[in-house]
Structure 1
Amino acid sequence: MKKVVLFLGIGILVGCSSTPIQLPSNVKTIPSGMGQSTYIDKVDHSFIPSKTVTFSNLKICAASAFANDGITLKDNSGSFVGAYTGRYYQQNNKQQINGGDVFKLIDEKSNTFIATGNKKTRPQQGGLIVDFIKYDAKVSLSNNHVHLQFQNIQAAQQSTGSSSNDGFRPVGTWAGARAPAAIETINNLAVSFKNCVN
């Protein structure tokens, strides 16, 4: 009887964990293909500037607010304790992801560009976890309305300890998937960009 109850409890916990958390209205999601769970698709931060701006202004502010830095992801997978010595042999695995240009595309005719970058989240879960958030920012100017949409948003844990670090992945919106920190990081980038434009 106890085993049946235990299995039912695990089933309920797993079911609850895939339920999406409450998200701001400017965050759009896509199905993950696993139950009710979803991934962040886009975050819209479009706005009307407090003054008249040009497309050149927007490019300058993008270069100021967004950065596409090289980053290092780490793990200690493969570490072990020697059977005879009792000594701990630590593997320090690293993968370097190169940075590059901020601008992926600039189309002067349509007053549109796509910038790309990455940024660290604040420490989470008691300061034990830090993620890198990778994103594209699609920006266009029309009648002094700035369309600012973050897309292709992914996260990678800076260090995964003894688990293998699999790098960047879509950001899940269920409890424990650390979506709030990813959204906060995107929001901070949007604020930096808007402050520069205004």
Structure 2
Amino acid sequence: MKKLIGYLAVLTILTSCTSQKMLSIYQTSGVEIAQNSSGADILNKYNTSRPITALHSSLSLCIAQELDNGPVVLASENYSGSLWWPYYNVPSQQAITVSGGDTIKLVEGNHVVANAVTDYLYHTKYFISYILTATRHQNNIHYLFSNIKQAHQYTGSVVNDGFENVKTLESVHPNLVIDALNKEADKIQECLLR
């Protein structure tokens, strides 16, 4: 009986450490889920449209002004200390600079394709890189976000692996990624109406 209780305790601890899928992301309008090479569910694409009646600025101009594709520095840091003494941050040589580049990749007719990076905060800073294809229609702008990847700015004592696909796990915050992408579309919309 003691072995069974011990086994159940270990099983409970192990299952509580694993992150569960964020079920709400599967019902989020415009989200397309795919599987990576390991079979894990990832955010593949995100589509959204915003109504527009009058354009005061061009779509490509607003994308160039409002989106950023600058270089991003990702790092890991070493900590020393214990539960009873303060942590001391010891700088590490584990830094990765992910080069940016031109934001606008292509302008063709009513379509603009751009590379960009944005971020959000959840205890620490996370960066999101993506490709945006924006299409101007008569009454709306359609935004297609693809190649969506995420990276922690600082990973503590763990090596920073850089940008990776966004899994649908709660611990990866796919809902905050979608919120950040919506804010990018909102910035472009505001520019178009100025």
Report the TM-score when normalising by structure 1: 0.79
* Aligned position for 2:154: 159
- Report how many aligned residue pairs link the two structures: 181
Q: CA deviation at 1:26?
A: 2.3
Q: Which residue type is aligned with residue 74 of structure 2?
A: L
Distance in 2, Cα, partners of 1:59 & 1:117: 13
Say whether 1:45 aligns with 2:48: yes
Q: Which residue type is aligned with residue 60 of structure 2?
A: K
Q: Deviation per CA, 1:124-178: give whole Å up to 9, x if none.
A: 1xx3x21011111101223343221111111110011100000000111221112
Distance in 2, Cα, partners of 1:67 & 1:89: 30
* Aligned position for 1:174: 169
Q: Which residue type is aligned with residue 182 of structure 1?
A: V
Distance in 1, Cα, partners of 2:46 & 2:105: 19
Q: Deviation per CA, 1:17-54: give whole Å up to 9, x if none.
A: 3433302212222134667x521112212223121x49
Q: What does residue range 134-153 of structure 1 map to in structure 2 within 5 Å?
A: 134-153=129-148
* Aligned position for 1:31: 35
Distance in 1, Cα, partners of 2:176 & 2:188: 19
Change beyond 3 A, Cα 1:130–1:101: same
Distance in 1, Cα, partners of 2:89 & 2:69: 35
* Aligned position for 1:4: 7
* Aligned position for 2:117: 118
Report the TM-score when normalising by structure 2: 0.80
Q: Structure 2, unaligned stretches of length 5 or more?
A: 82-87
Q: Structure 1, unaligned stretches of length 5 or more?
A: 82-87
Q: CA deviation at 1:103?
A: 1.0
User: Contact 1:19–1:174 (CA<8 Å) still a contact in 2?
Assistant: yes
Higher normalized strand content (fraction of residues): 2
Counting aligned pairs with the same residue, the percent is 25
* Aligned position for 2:21: 19
Distance in 2, Cα, partners of 1:72 & 1:154: 15
